Amino acid sequence: MGRWEPGARERLVLAAVDLFTEQGYDATTVTQIAERAGVTKSTFFRHFPDKRELLVAGQETMSRLLAEGIAEAPADASPLAAVAAGLVRASSTMGPMNRELAPRLKAAIAASTELQERDALKSVSLAAAMTAALVARGVPGPTAELAAELGLLAFKRAFAEWSEGDRDTADDFARRAVAALEQLRAAGASLR
């Protein structure tokens, strides 16, 4: 096992998703994940506090990018336009690895209550990051919370469509996310 090989974090995520899919989350150990990834157990713990955190790798980056995109939106942007800017910024993290892992990750989460809970906490965290960024722009709390929740729902819808889409095309995740947000805005307007 190479002690300082590059890409250890990514290899650990790939190994974990594969093992969770093959044998289930509960039956998978940190030692097995580290061995499959070709790293030591101590390397695993340098990157992740526990195996559950593997499935939310990148959450902090995603939250930061969402908030940065919202903060950098034009001053006169509506709350939803600012959220759209956040979604576009965050979409830069969505690459081929995310698309490849999505179906297996979805299956692993569906099979584990613990992972479902962690996934729900991830959603709360992403919405909170967007809400805080909107409030920092001067958007009133309830409006910021609603815009952030719509942004989260748009992100989830876009991710599902993008990850299940044709792998031979260079589908644009950002385009899907902004379109989903617009669909949700229109749906909300019809609730009157």
pLDDT mean values, one per 10 residues, the chain (192 residues)? 66 90 91 95 92 80 94 97 96 82 85 88 94 98 97 94 71 89 94 83
pLDDT given for residue 118 in this prediction: 87
pLDDT given for residue 172 in this prediction: 84
pLDDT given for residue 2 in this prediction: 45
Last residue of a domain, one of 16, 36, 53: 53
83 backbone φψ class: left, alpha, beta (φ>0; ψ -120 to 50): alpha
d(CA 83, CA 104): 28
pLDDT given for residue 81 in this prediction: 97
pLDDT given for residue 73 in this prediction: 97
Q: In 10 A of CB 16, how many CB atoms?
A: 29
**Any domain includes 175:** yes
Same-domain status, 112 and 86: yes
DSSP 8-state secondary structure symbol assigned to residue 1: -
pLDDT given for residue 169 in this prediction: 55
Same-domain status, 112 and 142: yes
**Closest to 52 in 3D by CA, of 9, 108, 115, 112:** 115
Instruction: Answer for the pair 56, 93: CB distance below 8 angstroms, yes or no.
Output: no
**Any domain includes 81:** yes
How many domains is the chain partitioned into structurally?
Answer: 2
Same-domain status, 86 and 139: yes
Same-domain status, 48 and 129: no
**Structural domain for 24, as ranges:** 8-53
**Any domain includes 3:** no
pLDDT given for residue 57 in this prediction: 73
Reading the block at residue 101, the tokens are 């892992």
d(CA 22, CA 44): 20
Q: Which residues contact 173 (CB under 8 A, 6 or more apart)?
A: 91, 94, 158, 159, 162
pTM of the model: 0.84
Same-domain status, 29 and 81: no
